[in-house]
Chain A
Amino acid sequence: MEILTKDFSLAAQMVKLFDDNHDLIFKSDTPEITDRRKIALEVFKRLGFPDNKDEKWRNTDLKKSLQAEYNYYFEPTFQKGIDLARIFQCNIPHLETDMISQLNGWFISENGGIKKHADGVIVGSLAVAQKEFPDLFDQHFGRYADNEKSGFVALNNAFACDGVFIYVPDNVQVKMPIQIVNIIHHDQNIFVQNHNLVILGKNSQLQLVQCDDSVDHQRSLINTVTEVFIGENASLDHYKLQNKNDVATLINSLFFHQERDSRLSTNCITLNGGIIRNENYVRMNGENCEANILGVYLVDKFQHVDNQVFVDHAFPNCQSSELFKGIVDDSARAVFNGHILVRPDAQKTNAYQNNKNILLTDKATVNSQPFLEIYADDVKCSHGATVGQLDETAMFYLRSRGISIENSRMLLMYAFAAEIINHIKIEPLKIRIDDMVKKRLRGELSVCEQCVLHCSTMEKPINFEIDLSKI
């Protein structure tokens, strides 16, 4: 364990930490990977952690998060006496998933850390995969997560030791959704850097549910990078659920690399969190790709959520569509930054982008910046952003039927969010998220008691029935 103090710059301490721990960081590396780490660190030295002078970070202030004291670990760390089975138990009725767990960024398992199924699907720890499947690992690791995107990505690429590794061979359709539950639970402040690698072979298919939860109120800084390779004509249905405590800072960078004819749907549901920054990069690296990038965020108090989407249309005949919706309460702040790049050859591109917000108070703020950068002439692109209050005439209509102000607001807010929830294709998950959104809007959802997909530390049982009369 290393202690990162608040007295020195975190960036400088990280560089020193890297140099002091070559043996631990490089221990499973091929020379190629070690080189990639060193390059990444050089980029980090140049970029440092982002600050508000950086155009892309103008509206997200990390000063407080970067000035706290953290513990940093090079090996798995759990609090003593912790009951892992209880923490990771997931009880969504009728949701059958192949669940994999990460605690504080480290893969958890009883059986050697990796499993190769009969159909060739590999699911397990990134650290173990690096040793057991070096070819796959070397071929993909750090290939899509571009160091130049931010200091966080570079730093993660340099340090990454563990995370989740998933490989789906060509022509395999994985029946059961895979669910990654990443829980942060520690008795000290903690800085976590995990790195997930997901590889989908040609014509393959996968549903992936990624959950980020806290189960305590300890401060944490989590820098997650997920690299996803979607092979030719493969299809990924991806969900990201975030329910972090109010002092958690989560930097979540997702890199989707799409080969020709592939389909991606990714849906990010943010229910709670101190500072959450989601960076979604979609690179369309062949013709006829399709990407649906969706998100919904519900923030209140002093929470901050920032969604960045960058879609790179590098080839012709691809479609992308983005829709992010948010409800911002109290003094919370939401940031949306969408960037669609259509390169000169990417003719017949269809690209849509939309961000809609409801502000519930005068103090809540939204910064929304849709941006199109188009170098091809035969394209259809559009973008839009709205920020508004709840519709007055709709409020009158609902109340004129005897429905109270609070419930009328609830119905309208829920309806607003439901447009995104309705896109969830895994039915039991949809029902559960739907329920959680309702609870969240009623102020009844909190971390610790009701985390996104597991309900471990609770005393009282969760009632999954949706009480329609109450919404």
Chain B
Amino acid sequence: MLSIKNLHVAINGREIIKGLDLEIHAGEVHAIMGPNGTGKSTLAGVIAGREGIYDITEGEITYKGKNLLDLPIEDRAREGIFLGFQYPVEIPGVSITNFMRTAVNEIRQYKGLPQISAGDFLKKMEEAKKLVGIQSKLTNRSVNEGFSGGEKKKNEIFQMAMLQPELAILDETDSGLDIDALKIVANGVTALRSDENATIVITHYQRLLDFIVPDFVHVLFEGKIVKTGGKELALELEAKGYDWLKSEV
């Protein structure tokens, strides 16, 4: 589904990602862990197509057989890529309902489908809300405006449930969530899991991986994946930290 080969990314002339390889197939869940500032969010931003910051100096990314780097941000989303933001953006004046309706319809249009009916849309909203346990009144508010940290994260998963992506990248969706919210969010992600889609979870905490069980755990360190293992690697990292990896690099 997604294949990254020898990716090099610089920000303001400073190399952040330094030769990264990653293969993801449909049905898989990959966890990416690693110390602060090693380029996890940068990788997520590059996959989502964020413009104006990243300089991709080398390497390639293919997604469903297409050259991903050729696609503008919105086409990547329409092709099924979803980024759950580490820091969701507040957009005063745009209601979540309006935001989601516009997004759903644009994606449908891209796929040659007719606009969603008001009834179907509302039904979808209700289902998505239930999935992540968010209250009705939240969706009448402006996108993320004045939301608590946890509400923002839940809102990301709500959007994911609305858009039903093929490849979801969840960038620290667990941070800021209390233990109950964490379970709800994790169950939501698990419920959306299928053989056709894949998930990348970026996290600092092994705890999340008890709920969203990964097939692979990667350690991103100074711009490279330095170790890949099964879910037990997360436990090892939790116990030992990252220092021991330095000697292995």
Contact of B142 among A398, A402, A415, A468 (CB under 8 A): A415
CB distance from A149 to the nearest CB of B (A): 35
Does the CB pair B89–A394 fall under 8 Å?
A: yes
Do B91 and A402 have beta carbons less than 8 Å apart?
no
Known contacts A392-B52, A396-B73, A469-B102; decide if A401 and B159 are in contact (CB<8 Å): yes
Residue on A with the closest CB to B76? A400
Taking a contact as CB atoms under 8 Å apart, the answer to whether A400 and B142 are in contact is no
Q: Are A412 and B91 in contact (CB under 8 A)?
A: yes
Among candidates B85, B91, B94, B106, residue contacting A404 with C-beta atoms closer than 8 Å: B106
Known: A412-B91, A419-B93. A407 touches B73 (CB 8 A): no
Asked if residues A412 and B94 are in contact (CB atoms below 8 Å), the reply is yes
Contact (Cβ within 8 A) A468 B102: yes
The answer on a CB contact under 8 Å between A402 and B89 is no
Q: How large is the interface on B (under 10, 10 to 19, 20 to 34, 35 or more residues)?
A: 35 or more
Contact with B along A454-469 (1 / 0, CB 8 A): 0000000000000011
Cβ A398 vs Cβ B91 within 8 A:
yes
Cα-based distance from A58 to B143 in the complex (angstroms): 41
- Does B223 sit at the interface, judged by CB under 8 A? no
- Find out whether the CB atom of B102 lies under 8 angstroms from the CB atom of A416: no
Q: Is the interface of A mostly helix, strand, loop or mixed?
A: helix
CB-CB under 8 A from B94, the residues of chain A are: 398, 411-412, 414-415
Report A398 CB to chain B, min CB distance, Å: 7
> Shortest Cβ distance from B79 into chain A, in angstroms?
9
Known: A397-B85, A412-B91. A402 touches B163 (CB 8 A): yes
Residues of A within 8 A of B89 (CB): 391, 393-394, 396-397
Q: Are B93 and A414 in contact (CB under 8 A)?
A: yes
Q: How far is the CA of A469 from the CA of B115 in the complex (A)?
A: 8
Q: Are A469 and B101 in contact (CB under 8 A)?
A: yes
Q: Which of B99, B100, B101 gathers most chain A CB within 10 Å?
A: B99
Is there an interface contact between B98 and A407, defined as CB atoms closer than 8 Å?
no
B78 at the interface (CB under 8 A from A): yes
Within 8 A of B (CB), among A317-335: none
Which residues of chain A come closer than 8 Å to B76, judged between CB atoms? 400
Decide: B77 and A401 in contact? CB cutoff 8 A: yes
B104 to chain A: closest residue by CB? A402
A3 within 8 A of B: no
Q: Are A400 and B83 in contact (CB under 8 A)?
A: yes
A471 interface hit (Cβ, 8 Å): yes
Partner of A402, one of B50, B51, B78, B88: B78
Enumerate B34-89 residues with CB–CB distance to A below 8 Å: 48-52, 72-74, 76-78, 82-83, 85, 88-89
Contact call A400/B93, Cβ cutoff below 8 A: no
CB-nearest residue of chain B to A399: B73
Judge if B175 is at the interface, Cβ distance under 8 Å: no
- Docked Cα-Cα span, A398 to B101, in Å, equals 12
Residues of A within 8 A of B107 (CB): 402
User: Is A404 in contact with B52, judged by CB distance below 8 angstroms?
Assistant: no
Contacts of B72 in A (CB 8 A): 399, 405
Return the CB mask of A413-430 against B: 1 if under 8 Å, else 0: 011101100000000000
Kindly list chain A residues whose C-beta atoms are within 8 Å of the C-beta of B49. 400
For A415, what are the chain B residues with a Cβ–Cβ distance below 8 Å? Answer: 91-94, 142
A403 adjacent to chain B (CB < 8 Å): yes
From A394, A401, A403, residue with most partner B Cβ within 10 Å: A401
Number of interface residues of A (CB under 8 A): 26
Q: Nearest Cβ distance between residue A342 and chain B, in whole angstroms?
A: 30
Q: List which A118-135 residues lie within 8 A (CB) of chain B.
A: none
Is B235 part of the binding interface, using a Cβ–Cβ cutoff of 8 Å?
no
Q: Which listed residue (A404, A412, A468) contacts B98, Cβ 8 A?
A: A468
Q: Are B91 and A401 in contact (CB under 8 A)?
A: no
User: Given that A392-B52, A415-B94, A471-B98 are contacting pairs, would A405 and B88 also be in contact in the complex, using a CB cutoff of 8 Å?
Assistant: no
Given contacts A412-B91, A416-B93, A469-B105, A403 and B115 within 8 Å (CB-CB): no
Would A403 and B93 be within 8 Å (CB), given that A392-B52, A396-B50, A397-B88 are in contact? no
Tell me, in angstroms, the Cα distance from A400 to B107 when the chains sit together. Answer: 11
Say yes or no for B177: interface residue by CB 8 A criterion.
no
Give chain A residues whose Cβ lies under 8 Å from the Cβ of B85.
397
Q: Report the bound CA distance from A414 to B102 in whole Å.
A: 14
Cα(A418)–Cα(B95), bound, Å: 11
Task: Tell me, rounded to whole Å, the shortest Cβ–Cβ distance linking A388 to chain B.
Answer: 14
**Docked complex Cα distance between A398 and B159 (Å):** 11
Whether the Cβ atoms of A403 and B103 lie closer than 8 Å is yes
Cα distance A419–B92 in the bound complex, in angstroms: 9
Cα–Cα, bound, A281→B52 (Å) = 45
For the complex formed, measure the closest distance between the CB of B243 and the CB atoms of chain A, giving whole angstroms: 34
Alpha-carbon separation in the docked complex, A391 to B91 (Å): 9
| CA A418 to CA B92, docked complex, whole Å | 9
Cβ–Cβ < 8 Å partners of A398 in chain B:
91, 94, 99
Q: Judging by beta carbons under 8 Å apart, are A407 and B91 in contact? A: no
Say yes or no: A418 contacts B93, CB within 8 Å. yes
- A463 to chain B minimum Cβ distance, whole angstroms, is 16
Name which residue of chain B comes closest to A397, CB basis: B89
Residues of A within 8 A of B100 (CB): 401
B74 A399 Cβ-Cβ under 8 A: yes
A385 to B107, CA, bound (A): 38
CB of A147, distance to nearest CB on chain B (Å): 42
Q: How far is the CB of B85 from chain A (nearest CB, A)?
A: 7
**Measured CA separation A132–B206 after assembly (Å):** 85
Question: Smallest CB–CB gap between A278 and chain B, Å?
Answer: 24
Question: In the complex, what's the smallest C-beta–C-beta distance from B111 to chain A, in angstroms?
Answer: 10
A415 to B95, CA, bound (A): 9
Choose among A400, A402, A408, A468 the residue with the greatest number of B CB atoms under 10 Å from its CB: A402
Cβ distance B113 to chain A, nearest Cβ, rounded Å: 13
* Complex CA distance for A398 and B82, rounded to whole angstroms: 11
- Complex: A405 Cα to B100 Cα, angstroms: 15
18 interchain pairs, CB-CB under 8 A: A391-B89, A396-B50, A396-B51, A397-B91, A398-B91, A399-B73, A400-B50, A400-B74, A401-B159, A402-B107, A402-B163, A403-B106, A405-B72, A408-B74, A411-B98, A415-B94, A468-B97, A469-B105
Given contacts A398-B99, A402-B107, A468-B98, 10 further A-B contacts (CB under 8 A): A394-B91, A397-B91, A397-B143, A400-B74, A402-B163, A411-B99, A415-B91, A416-B93, A418-B93, A471-B98
Closest 9 CB pairs of A and B: A415-B93, A402-B77, A397-B89, A399-B73, A401-B103, A402-B107, A418-B93, A399-B74, A469-B105
